[in-house]
Structure 1
């Protein structure tokens, strides 16, 4: 029973593979005498045909509708906008190696006696960082809260 199903699967696979070879290339990909240069010139208006000229005119009209003169506000805002995209050594380092958060720990020290002659020390609060050193994230490391 098992060998019959294996033979059936093998026969079906062979038929599928051979049916792919039965189609000719000329049937699937018909050719004309036009070259890619002819098609390009016709569609961009270089060939002198009517549809190419219409496509070229539509392209020029679309470009003209997107063009507009710069206002004074645009001219004044340009240096600030460009500065955000300007690469400097400082922003490259900070952008690639961002500092990881180093939370402060606030500790309260209760009143106590200190020293060989027990001297009373009043209670006080102190703050110190959780990590001894500044830690940096590797490039691409996740920085949002976990």
Structure 2
């Protein structure tokens, strides 16, 4: 009968009622301006000595002493080598492999059974390189905590 019309009118009425709210109801305006909020946060950081002390305490808790191995590892990653220059200038974009499974089937003029097997296809036909500065430099030799290569 008129059931589809009733449903359509009800949905249309609900949609219009949902759009009838104003932005002031959803996000009421406060009495502070953006400039007041900015000044309040700026003065709260520099004027409050207790929060500064708490911040310094938290930073000192998070600090860890650096061992000689960690210092050497940092120097290795910041030294300038030809490989680092190439990788940092023109990094290779990831080329994911698609692993496909071929089900067992019969092949050839005489139906010869071929067992099922998996094969790998690269997503792109050739390697793609990023423009300088597009990607982060890959880590060449990942080291564990003892400074040994994995």
TM-score range (shorter-chain normalised) is 0.3 to 0.5
Give the TM-score normalised by structure 2: 0.43
Give the TM-score normalised by structure 1: 0.44
Based on CA coordinates, which of the two structures has the bigger radius of gyration? 1
The higher-RCO structure (CA 8 Å, 6+ apart) is: 2
